[in-house]
Amino acid sequence: MTRPLFCLAFGLSLLATSCRQQVDEAPAAADAAPEPEPATVAAVADEAIDARYRCDGGNRVDLVRDGHSARVSMSDGRVVNLGAITGSKPSTWSDVGLRFVVDGDYAALSQDDTGRTLRCERAGE
């Protein structure tokens, strides 16, 4: 009678080991899933652009929504929307440590935490 109990116990231990291996392998499969692509300008291509600025380093700023928002397309593929600071002189858009300023012929994109400033020029329509 001890032999059938031993066989049953051995079989259950094999089953438990098999289940544990499947559970341990599941996170590895989830880690292998590709990361989503960063937002691109193509996703918002149907939005009307009020003005476009090309900045040093391959960056671009589009003023949209009647100037209420500045969409920064960075050279690394990221896209950040900056909100207009109402009543600012010179005209300023800011958010997430980025600032875009336009004052007549002067336009610049700057990063608050590093103090780095990129010169921008209005692009032809």
pLDDT tens digits in sequence order for the chain, 125 residues long: 445 444 444 444 444 444 444 444 444 444 554 444 444 444 455 678 999 999 999 999 999 999 999 999 999 999 999 999 999 999 999 998 999 999 999 999 999 889 999 999 999 75
Nearest to 120 by CA among 112, 103, 96: 103
What is the rounded distance in angstroms from the CA atom of residue 35 to the CA atom of residue 45? 23
User: Is the bond leading into 27 cis (omega within 30 degrees of zero)?
Assistant: no
Q: Is the pTM of this model over 0.75?
A: no
